[in-house]
Amino acid sequence: MRVPPVWVRRLVIAPGVVLVAVAMLVAAPVWLLVALAITSLVPGIFRLPRVLWLVTVYLVLDSALLLAMFGLWIASGFGWRLRSAGFLSAHYAVASLFLRALFWMIGVVLRLRIIVTGDDAGESRVAFGALFASGAPLVVASRHGGPGDSFTLVHTLLNGVHRRPRIVLKDTLQWDPGIDVLLHRVPAQFITPSGFGAARTGGGSRVEEQIGALARGLGADDALVIFPEGGQVSEARRRSRIERLRRSGRRALADRAGRLRHVMPPQPGGVQAALQAAPDADMVFIGHTGLDRFQSLGDLWHELPMGKRITIRAWRVPRAEIPDERDAQAEWLFAWFERIDAWISTQE
């Protein structure tokens, strides 16, 4: 869906979200009673009131985020010092609080747990945190599995390991006014992904240039977040990606891609651009499970993830172990996604 122009997002959508949040909050006692009254007609235990409450909480938090952004804009001299180091830190602090509150509420309502590990011995926050230890910038390449994985990963980086993320994400997320305003003030890049059919809707060298620009100047406490698959896994996208490999003459790679069960063949251009622009950066690979069955809002409704857990596994690769030559780098990236695919199979 095409993203509306900035003036529509700022003057129509953003105030609209605030008004809807206020209306939902004021009317909460009424719609909660109605939802409870009809819950017997809805599959699942208290699914309707839980979903409505989560929607209300998200709208309220999104509105609070917008108001905080407005306050920072005024405090910065109506935007004069908005790009200064102090106000950048303030924006990251607000983002941290927003995500902390959001995931606390999700944990309360859905009993959702996030398990992190940096070794093969199960849950290990110490091992996980050590992989993100300060001292070198990081390029974080994550699998793309289900809605909300970017929120989960950024929350983990900000509140779990205290890294400041620079995230590459789809332009459609600009429909969310809080995220839209925040990520236009901190280092981030909205992109139009490549098409998976006959026609291309984006991607290519322009996106690689944008990712390279975002990676330039990464500090020792920063982490650029990228999803090399370019989108959620689907059979249509998987077939298209494999066929693209065959047409380009890389038949052996296409055969290997056909054996991947949980991930798609990664597109190397963005990672290569980031590594070239940040020559001192180490790589961290992220695999996660728990969101795989929730590929759409419909899936979330039909299988509301009550009592679920998200497991996040990280691997860190020092810069010295990353190939320099582009073809070797592409092969190396593909091999890492094979490893992530194999790890996910062990979690089933």
DSSP sequence for 91-125: HHHHHHHHHHHHHHHHHHHH--EEEEESSSSS--H
CB 164 within 8 A of CB 223: yes
Highest mean pLDDT among 38-47, 123-132, 219-228: 219-228
| Mean pLDDT value of segment 168-184 | 93
Could you give the strand order of the β-sheet that contains 164-170, starting from the edge strand earlier in sequence? 113-117, 309-317, 282-289, 138-142, 222-226, 164-170, 188-191
Residue 194 scores a pLDDT above 60: no
pLDDT at 146: 65
In sequence order, which residues have a C-beta less than 8 Å from that of residue 294 and are 6 or more positions away?
Answer: 146, 147, 148, 300, 303, 305
pLDDT at 197: 37
pLDDT at 245: 85
pLDDT at 202: 44
In sequence order, which residues have a C-beta less than 8 Å from that of residue 76 and are 6 or more positions away?
Answer: 82, 84, 87
Q: Are strands 309-317 and 282-289 parallel, antiparallel or unpaired?
A: antiparallel
pLDDT at 232: 74
In which element (H, E) is residue 70 found? helix 47-75
113-168 pLDDT, tens per residue? 888 888 766 667 778 999 998 889 999 999 987 667 889 999 999 999 999 999 99
pLDDT at 293: 59
Q: Could you tell me the CA-to-CA distances from 263 to 97, 269, 328, 341 in Å, in that order?
A: 31, 17, 20, 6
Q: Which SS3 state, helix, strand or coil, does residue 266 take? A: coil
Residue 288 scores a pLDDT above 60: yes
One-letter amino acid of 168: V
| Mean pLDDT value of segment 23-51 | 75
Neighbours of 208 (CB within 10 A): 21
Residue 41 scores a pLDDT above 90: no
Residue 200 scores a pLDDT above 50: no
| Mean pLDDT value of segment 310-315 | 92
Angle between helix axes 326-346 and 269-277 (nearest 10 degrees) is 120
Q: How many CA atoms lie within 13 A of 241 on its CB side?
A: 26
User: Distance between CA atoms of 267 and 168, rounded to whole angstroms?
Assistant: 14
pLDDT at 164: 96
Residue 249 scores a pLDDT above 90: no
pLDDT at 94: 97
Which residues on neighbouring strands pair with residue 289, listed in sequence order? 311
User: Distance between CA atoms of 56 and 255, rounded to whole angstroms?
Assistant: 46
Report percent pLDDT > 90 for the chain: 56
Band (2; pLDDT cuts 50, 70, 90): confident
Residue 304 scores a pLDDT above 70: no
pLDDT at 195: 44
pLDDT at 294: 58
Q: Are strands 188-191 and 309-317 parallel, antiparallel or unpaired?
A: unpaired
Which 8-state DSSP code applies to residue 161?
S
Please state, rounded to an integer, the average pLDDT across all residues of the chain.
Answer: 86
Residue 296 scores a pLDDT above 60: no
In this structure, of 4-8, 280-284, 302-306, 321-325, the range with the lowest mean pLDDT score is: 302-306
254-264 pLDDT, tens per residue? 899 889 988 99
Burial class (CB in 10 A: 0-12, 13-18, 19+), 207: buried
Mark out the alpha helices in 125-268 (DSSP H runs).
125-131, 149-155, 177-183, 205-215, 235-247, 251-258
Terminal alpha carbon distance of the chain: 34
In sequence order, which residues have a C-beta less than 8 Å from that of residue 302 and are 6 or more positions away?
Answer: 43
Nearest to 319 by CA among 136, 187, 65, 119: 136
